[in-house]
Chains A and B, each alone.
Chain A
Amino acid sequence: MLIDCPWCGERPLHEFTYGGDANTTRPLESTNKDPGEDLAAWMDHVYLRANPAGPHKEYWHHVSGCRSWLIVTRDTTTHIIDQVAFAAPRAKEVQE
């Protein structure tokens, strides 16, 4: 499998590490001491996964290349990669 890193071009799979589901929402910072209040949102973010058979937005880390974190849309049944983008907004700016 190849991933077309926006900086480094097409590179083979062994240059990357899989970083998991990119569809979850990380709850905002809070220092509330009330247990239970935002626990559901955290549990969803840390554990709940849709695991679709089809296009899936996920994180990949180009560890052996430019070390950018990427958001990749990959079809989990065919491995065909539809889109690859930098996760970091500043990197995206540079690209444009």
Chain B
Amino acid sequence: MNQQSNRLPNGGMIDRSRVINFSFDRRFYTGHQGDTLASALMANGVTLTGRSFKYHRPRGIYTAGPEEPNALVTLGHGARTEPNIAATTVELFEGLEAFSQNRWPSLRFDLLAINSLFKPLLSAGFYYKTFMWPRSFWYALYEPMIRRAAGLGALQNEPDPDHYEHSHIHCDILIVGAGPAGLVAASEAAKTGARVLLVDDQQTPGGYLSGEQLEIDHKPTKQWVCHIKDQLRLKEHVQMLSRTTVVGRYDGMTFSAVERVCDHLGDQQAQAADLPRQRLWTIHAKQFICAAGAIERPLVFDNNDCPGVMLAGAARSYLNRYGVLPGRDVIVFTNNDDAYRTARDLSAAGADVSVVDTRKSAAGAAILPADIKIFYEHALTEIAGTIQVTSAHITPLSGEGEKHLKTCDLICVSGGWNPTTHLLSHLGQRPDWSEDIAAFSLAEPGDNAFVAGGAAGSFDLADTLEKAAQAGCHAAKACGLDAGEQTPSPLVPQDFTYGIDAFWKMPDHLCDGSKSFVDLQNDVTVGDLQLAQREGFGHAEHAKRYTTLGMGTDQGKLSNVNALGILSQLRGKTLAETGTTTYRPLYGPVALGTLAGQQKGAAFAPVRHSAIHAWHAAQGAVLTHAGLWLRPYYYPRPGEDFAAAVKREVLAVRSSVGMVDVSTLGKIEMKGPDAGVFLDRLYINSFSKMKIGRARYGAMLREDGMMFDDGTVSRLARNHYFITVTTVNAGPVLAHMEFCHQTIWPELDVQFCTVSENWAAMAVAGPKSRDVLASVIDELDLDNEAFPFMAVGNGTINGAFVRIFRISFSGELAYEVYADARVGQGVWEAIMFAGQSMGITAYGTEAMTVMRTEKGHVAGPELDGRTTAHDLGLGRMMSQKKDFIGRRMAHRDGLVLDTTKQLVGLKPVEAGASFKMGAHLVEDPTLIGPDVSQGHVTTAVYSPSCDHFIGLALLDGGRKRIGEQIFVVSPLHNEQIEAVISEPVFVDPEGERTHV
């Protein structure tokens, strides 16, 4: 059964001169360029391709497209292993290795088929009724057992090594589907000069025509397709994406599409080409034409899942597109005329064909040669064969009369065609039941949308070409383009008939439905649907979840409508009344890697570097994240751990001099005659009357009165201010200022913008800081009288402009040096060089945190959005003479009580003890409960200056409790210590050091 026994010598769109070697379950086969894995397997007579999800029933290839429920395989090796790929969508490439899934030890002999014996225990909703006792057995035994026994493919737990990318594309008209409808619509629209984007999931256009033997203008459709494609290629404003599936439609005429860039190339070739494996396109369109065609649905009867049973249209595809004869002894079982084309084509290729039709008569029979036997008002029962169908009984539907036993190796089924309207429904619009095609479709596709061809429920080629041209014209018109005369349609035979008669399931007197599969992938039978209805879950949305119908990787493309038909019968409702379940993106499975694109690992979020970063990295600084910024945390010297390095850095600053990179601070430059007034309204304190050449600490509230941010405001000239804000609030504060300026006080003449990036900033702190800077800064007198605390001035360092602010976060004599970003590192190096003889030490954010805590300066952990200025001891900063944002709300009764959570300091009673940020403050550590906490620790650090742990905390009525003792507890860490409540300052409480 190999060497392509089913391949015909001629016909199809494959290239027989190019032979491709591949393997399936480690057996080697050959195929041709243009094959899918499914067509190549079929050519080699391989009919068994998998085992079903629950019952491990043998399964074969059912379709010729992405709607495939059965032939799911695993491809690839190692980290590139990908399970659950429909063999019908895999373009064959040299060296392809595929494996079947969900079977052990082998596909042919699968021990887990024993599951089918447990079928009564495993029916719909079984986990609500069975495997429940004893309770502990569920997690320990039943669940793992069931999980191992069922399922699809397996994942390798290795990171995906492929690279993916995202991109954007714009068009006037998006056309989904390059079958006849899409091609004609694209041609018409392109005539007007509209920017057209034509997307198709195959490697070449043609759509369903590729699987048919039709003629347009008396020529094979292949020629007509080539001609249109070439015409479209010549037009610059027409773009075509092939191997691309549009998976979702979103608000604002935005669509998502997945392009399979490299999947058909095989690993090595793909890697060499520097291409992404797949690309996620975001498509921006003005008009949308849905030409996505239609998907055939099967008939539902006992053992309809046997390998060798497939969709009639698929069988035609294998024959006409791939040159494969899927069987020689064929039964075509149908309720519509379309399947008669399968009968005709297979018969012409040499197969023996019989037709079984559920209807009384068929106009479509006219196309068949006279010697083909047709059984009207009959159906198929007693399908025999386990790993391959061998025979069936042709049975009168009435139950009376003779049954005929017919041997067969292929059963082609057709229950009708479902228009693929998903993209039209992704925004919530449900399709309507259309009686004449016995399917759901959308008559009104909605704003900015059109539909043509199979997707519109039109299966007649002549009608399709006409309507598609109209759609192209109308879409172009809707874009404001002149469409002119519609191009006359080419000549198409007018012999189309359909005549469908809905047939949802076999009558009860012929079979009980327990082996009639509605959802092949999830092993859901008619019996399961009957059970759901009996148990009160018969509504479409309930039945879906109760039985898992439609919840597999095929998303019910073959099963949904059949199920709705069956349920409506069981419930005595019409299909119009039953309606559909909700359609949502994504149309098919999409790899998570594709959705992530480049945003994974180090590239997940951008990283921001200060202008001095290279120096820190070269020094071996340990870095930490502050928002998107990467900042030095500490600079370990050889042999130092975190604690040792931080201790050394802090002691160096307090005894001599250190320097820290504070470039990440948000910086805003503000100008205009009303700048001072504007600042007065934003901050709790005043700036409009500040002296030029001075800096002042400022605090800002939110509209609800809570502390928002703090920083420094410096006045550089009469109408020129320079503002710094905390690193993480840089964006929000700027946005807040813009809101106030644009919406609240637009009459103020003030202009401002961010200059965060423009300045490198470094704080030089410690008793020797003046000496260091005086030795390296020119044109600025740094004496205490000339440049007092909070002064601002300019100078140069080696000719580079620097702005100096005498402000201090550490509590030592300190200066912040601002330099142009481009010379930032140069200035830093110059200062380091100048300070060498005084032992200047670079310090990181941890040492900075320790020192600000020693001084009781509030920062992020204290400004958590629940604290007011009053709570943080900044109440006196609030001006009584002016209005400012948050003023009224900050004075709400509840917020000014003396029992609010107020900022205090904490010292452990026992010198060597420590506590954690987030620990709770309680009076009785034995009580645990929600009402017991009286506050929490906001910052906790070891203080080298004090040689013990210190903390800042928010404590109920804290300011009145200075000197008392309290317990600091972390129940999660099983820690508790006793601490003394102190003033929130531990070093130089009078603040003398900054004024020397």
Contacts and interface: CB of A to CB of B under 8 A. Distances in A.
Instruction: Tell me if chains A and B make direct contact, with any CB pair below 8 A.
Output: yes
Nearest to B735: A61
B703 A39 contact: no
A69 B743 CA distance: 8
A91 B742 contact: yes
A52 interface: no
Contacts of A19: 739
B669 interface: no
Contacts of A91: 742
Contacts of A61: 735, 738-739
A17 B735 contact: yes
A65 to B, nearest CB: 12
Contact of A2 (B252, B741, B883, B893): B252
Nearest to B892: A39
A29 B889 CA distance: 13
Interface in B861-885: 880-883
A45 B888 CA distance: 12
Interface in B205-254: 250-254
B746 interface: yes
A19 B892 CA distance: 24
A35 B893 contact: yes
Given A39-B888, A46-B704, A61-B738, A30 B883 contact: yes
B169 to A, nearest CB: 13
A67 B752 CA distance: 12
Contacts of B253: 2
Contacts of A84: none
Interface in A14-69: 17, 19, 26-27, 29-31, 35, 38-39, 42, 45-47, 59, 61, 63, 67-69
A19 to B, nearest CB: 7
Interface string B883-899: 10000110111000000
Given A29-B883, A31-B883, A39-B892, A88 B742 contact: yes
Contact of B888 (A17, A42, A47, A89): A42
B744 interface: yes
A67 B738 contact: yes
Contacts of B739: 19, 59, 61, 69
A68 B742 CA distance: 8
B882 to A, nearest CB: 7
B251 A79 contact: yes
A12 to B, nearest CB: 7
A87 B743 contact: yes
Contact of B742 (A27, A46, A87): A87
A35 B891 contact: yes
A63 to B, nearest CB: 6
Contacts of B704: 46-47
B795 to A, nearest CB: 33
A61 B737 CA distance: 12
Nearest to A37: B888
A92 to B, nearest CB: 10
Nearest to A26: B744
B746 A90 contact: yes
B889 A46 contact: yes
Contact of A1 (B252, B703, B883): B252
Contacts of B742: 68-69, 86-88, 91
Among B731, B739, B743, max chain A CB count under 10 A is at B743
A31 B743 contact: no
Nearest to A3: B252
A65 B684 CA distance: 30
B883 A69 contact: no
Nearest to A62: B738
Contacts of B744: 26
A40 to B, nearest CB: 11
Interface string B717-761: 000000000000001000100110111101000000000000000
A20 to B, nearest CB: 10
B735 A12 contact: no
Contacts of A59: 739, 743
A29 B892 CA distance: 16
B608 to A, nearest CB: 16
A63 B731 CA distance: 9
Contacts of B743: 59, 69, 87-88
Contacts of B893: 35
A59 B891 CA distance: 27
Contacts of B731: 63
A12 B883 contact: no
A42 B889 contact: yes
A27 B254 CA distance: 40
A68 B252 CA distance: 21
A76 B764 CA distance: 53
A51 to B, nearest CB: 18
Contacts of A63: 731, 735
A18 B742 CA distance: 15
Contacts of A26: 744
A63 B282 CA distance: 21
Nearest to A71: B743
Contacts of A47: 704
A74 to B, nearest CB: 10
Interface string B693-713: 000000000011000000000
A46 B890 CA distance: 12
Nearest to B282: A12
B405 to A, nearest CB: 59
Contacts of A31: 880-883
Interface string B49-78: 000000000000000000000000000000
Contacts of B282: 12
A63 B881 CA distance: 34
Nearest to A81: B252
Contacts of A2: 251-254, 284
List 7 A-B pairs, minimum CB-CB distance, nearest first: A2-B252, A88-B742, A29-B883, A69-B742, A1-B251, A87-B743, A79-B251
Given A12-B282, A19-B739, 19 more contacts: A2-B254, A12-B252, A26-B744, A27-B888, A31-B880, A35-B892, A42-B889, A45-B703, A46-B704, A46-B889, A59-B739, A59-B743, A61-B738, A61-B739, A69-B742, A79-B252, A88-B742, A90-B746, A91-B742
22 contacts: A2-B254, A2-B284, A10-B252, A17-B735, A19-B739, A29-B883, A31-B881, A31-B883, A35-B892, A42-B889, A45-B703, A46-B703, A46-B889, A59-B743, A61-B735, A67-B738, A86-B742, A87-B743, A88-B742, A88-B743, A88-B746, A89-B746
Interface of B: 250-254, 282, 284, 703-704, 731, 735, 738-739, 741-744, 746, 880-883, 888-889, 891-893
